[in-house]
Structure 1
Amino acid sequence: MIGRLWSAFFLIGMSPGFYYPALTNILTAQGLDSSFVQWTWLAGPLAAMISPVFVGSLADNRFAGQKVLGWLGILSAVLLAASFRVLETDWPKEWFIVLEYASAIVGAPLWSMMASLCLVHLRSGENEFPIVRMGGTAGWIVAGLLLSFVIRADTSPMAGYFGALARLAGGLFCFSLPATPPLGRSRSLRTLFGIDAFRLLKERDHAVFFVTTALLSMPLTAFYMWTPKHLAETGDGHVAATMALGQISEVVAMLVVAVLLRRFRVKTLLVVSLALTALRYGLFAWSGWSGAKTGLIAGVTLHGLCYTLYFITAQLFLDRRVPVEVRSQAQGLIALFSSGIGSLAGTFAVRAWYDHTVTAGHGGWAMFWAALGGFLLLLTIGFSVAYVGTGPRSGRSSW
């Protein structure tokens, strides 16, 4: 059971591992400007606002989870391959964005759906889910290393083709996962569109958590969009492999997160994650000021710990606290607030800040990263004050 779930996550994680870290540099090599890069990166945030909660509702109430995952993987793989093909043809490059958006909308629920399916079948989510979820991280690492050192396509559309191939394999493999029939029975339109999940926001801690997640995801877009470009400007010729250092540290973090969850409150882990994220951008700012690559490499390596302590803890947190009939939708809400609302706002804000500081030369990379780090420091303080840590049906709890 654990082996099959791990393998499914591996293939799903391998797909973005091939092209995400290289995407900005691929588009730049095609002669496309920062505006085109921005609109491309908006695909994920817009998709996360459309499909994860809706698809989660279908899996909660209408269709078997493993079949939903399979068809999502196959269709999004075809659209992803078609989008990168545009870069090698005479077609207007705007078609790349159109097909990227279509692929993203179809593929956006994959991660949250896989998390929900796993937590249904695992006997001990706290202990076993981090191990299973590590498969996605391992897939991302392997893809980055293959792209940089074997395929040697850090600036080539070939990265997208390999990403599509991995996603196709993942979709096909998902059909072999354990049968996961819908646990809910509602057929109302309110349930169909995932509106029931928003009732979670009526509880204080849930509301604080989701708002914080959206605000955290705003500066987080800068990590994915502009760190590869900053690395390239320091002379790094294997950007995809360097970015994989974040996933390597994520593996280590997932090995210890179950132990940390048993010893510390969720609030403590979330606060530590936010503080480390602010520190990471401080290291980036130091590299921008000094011109050295050391701070960038240290910050990228820190990424895995930051991500795991916040988002993996959050997925386990929600699985414990929400009713079984809305669990897939609750996982979709994390995608909505992080990859959707937060990343959408962040993509616009970060691109404008990049143009002002780096392109126009008002402070350069040092100012670019320092301001984002300051924002995250304020967010850490705000969350520490606003989040209480009271269980939904009882008194104070370790969660």
Structure 2
Amino acid sequence: MNTTNRVKLSIMMFLEFFIWGSWFVTLGTFLDKNLSASGSETAAVFSTQSWGAIVAPFIIGLIADRFFNAEKILGVLHLLGAALMYQMYNAADISVFYPYVLGYMILYMPTLALVNSVSFNQMKDPEKEFSPIRIWGTIGWIAAGLIISYVFVWDSAEALSEGLLKNTFLMAGIASLALGLFSFTLPKTPPKVAAGEKVKVGDILGLDALKLLKDKNFAIFFISAILICIPLAFYYQNAHPFLSNIGVEGPTGKMAIGQISEALFLLLIPFFFKKYGFKKTILVGMLAWSVRYLLFAYGNAGELSFMILIGIALHGICYDFFFVSGQIYTNSKAGERYKSAAQGLITLATYGVGMLIGFEVAGWITDTYKGANGAADWKMVWLIPSGIALVVFLLFALTFNDNKKIEDEVIGH
């Protein structure tokens, strides 16, 4: 790949995740402080991510892969997204805000696949070339959090009381506009499917990979992946409001520790696979969810603030050791014929179905454990998902018995 394209793809990745990190991390606090949303209303807003993940394969499979260049669709989606971000910035009521965020997530979620398509189309050796470009996405997400907390200070107590957190949507909208325009300068990525070639809905959704569920161990992993998304949803939905409400300074910037951790632990996965195997690696990831929520339940912004910071830093183990390991395991089980279908199915199951259930449960629990003053009982809000993660951990530990060696494949990736 020439240097110009490498720089362009790196900028694309930076902006793609800068946009997401600009508003999604602080969304729960915004809904609480600016729109006075209930737990169930907050759950409905966060669930738009899941609806976007469910719709995304259709946009990619029926439009991007058949009719238009990926970089052009990427540009159009981000330009439309910028307009919706501006509407979200102006929304003063949850009933006005919800349709815009739903429309936005339906447009944004397909772009996650599109930036990968544009990148892979320029690579001769994706296994070596993709990571140095994808890391700029993580850097973009971290940069957004640091800017919010330490440059504009929109998440401080004073700024929250003045309603300034809504400016995150303006920042995201400007970045979306920039990426929308920049996308038209990206390397050309023509449609993958030849004109006139039929595309089945089952192929788009990865339904052919359902045959893998005949394998008992894969079925156990599949169900566990859906269930572990329930406690995962609590983090996305409640972590920022929790940090803000207990008085942690610069909560958005501190949450960026999770992304730094994610990048570091990604490098350790091959070592863990080789030394401990898939089952132990994924069990560590599951147990980490339970431990981090215990730390949140009993930590505070004062003398026990170190517990909160450790809980945030555990994000790398929580995410990488379960989800990235799970993607590798799925790849090894699927074989050449079903690899793409299997990854599509596991994404649909986790970010679609699993997270959809998780956000609803998180919203219900948050509403259930609210005091007379309307403040959440954070101890219970975190103990419940900690218990759920522990149950999933035990079920997986007792029922999963796949001892197939897949370390060689992992090291190769």
1:356 corresponds to which letter in structure 2? T
Cα distance, 1:159 vs. partner?
0.4
1:372: which partner in 2?
Answer: 385
Cα distance, 1:200 vs. partner?
0.8
2:250: which partner in 1?
Answer: 238
1:108: which partner in 2?
Answer: 109
2:98: which partner in 1?
Answer: 97
Greater shift in the superposed pair: 357-366 or 172-181: 357-366
Cα distance, 1:368 vs. partner?
2.2
CA contact (8 A) 2:22 2:171 kept: yes
Please state if 1:355 is matched with 2:367: yes
Please state if 1:169 is matched with 2:181: no
CA contact (8 A) 2:258 2:315 kept: yes
TM-score, normalisation: structure 2: 0.81
Q: Mark the CA change 1:174 to 1:26 in structure 2 (over 3 Å): closer, same or farther.
A: same
SS of the aligned residue for 1:235 comes to coil
2:298: which partner in 1?
Answer: 286
2:154 corresponds to which letter in structure 1? A
Deviations 1:179-223 (A, max 9, x none): 43444457435248724x111121135544443322221111111
CA contact (8 A) 1:9 1:114 kept: yes
Please state if 1:85 is matched with 2:90: yes
Q: Mark the CA change 1:321 to 1:164 in structure 2 (over 3 Å): closer, same or farther.
A: farther
Q: In structure 1, how many angstroms separate the alpha carbons of the residues matched to 2:322 and 2:185?
A: 30
Cα distance, 1:378 vs. partner?
1.9
SS of the aligned residue for 2:178 comes to helix
Greater shift in the superposed pair: 254-263 or 321-330: 321-330
1:142: which partner in 2?
Answer: 143
2:198: which partner in 1?
Answer: 188
Unaligned 5+ segments in structure 1 are none
Greater shift in the superposed pair: 335-344 or 362-371: 362-371
CA contact (8 A) 1:116 1:328 kept: no
Deviations 1:314-364 (A, max 9, x none): 445556665889766655444422222112111111111122234469993
2:266 corresponds to which letter in structure 1? M
Unaligned 5+ segments in structure 2 are none
TM-score, normalisation: structure 1: 0.84
CA contact (8 A) 1:125 1:316 kept: no
Alignment partner of 1:199 out of 176, 201, 208: 208
Alignment partner of 1:48 out of 48, 53, 69: 53
Q: In structure 1, how many angstroms separate the alpha carbons of the residues matched to 2:334 and 2:181?
A: 30
What's the C-alpha RMSD, in Å, of the aligned pairs? Answer: 3.3
Cα distance, 1:99 vs. partner?
0.6
CA contact (8 A) 1:271 1:380 kept: yes
Structure 1 or 2, whichever has the larger Rg, is: 2
1:19: which partner in 2?
Answer: 23
Please state if 1:76 is matched with 2:77: no
Q: In structure 1, how many angstroms separate the alpha carbons of the residues matched to 2:276 and 2:114?
A: 27
Q: In structure 2, how many angstroms separate the alpha carbons of the residues matched to 1:172 and 1:316?
A: 35
1:367 corresponds to which letter in structure 2? M
CA contact (8 A) 1:53 1:333 kept: no
CA contact (8 A) 1:200 1:206 kept: no
Alignment partner of 1:36 out of 22, 41, 44: 41
Cα distance, 1:42 vs. partner?
2.1
SS of the aligned residue for 1:51 comes to helix
Q: In structure 2, how many angstroms separate the alpha carbons of the residues matched to 1:292 and 1:279?
A: 15
SS of the aligned residue for 1:109 comes to helix
CA contact (8 A) 1:274 1:306 kept: yes
Q: Mark the CA change 1:354 to 1:65 in structure 2 (over 3 Å): closer, same or farther.
A: same
1:198 corresponds to which letter in structure 2? L
Q: In structure 1, how many angstroms separate the alpha carbons of the residues matched to 2:279 and 2:190?
A: 33
Greater shift in the superposed pair: 365-374 or 217-226: 365-374
Q: In structure 2, how many angstroms separate the alpha carbons of the residues matched to 1:53 and 1:291?
A: 50
Q: In structure 1, how many angstroms separate the alpha carbons of the residues matched to 2:21 and 2:354?
A: 21
Percent of aligned pairs with the same residue? 27
SS of the aligned residue for 1:96 comes to helix
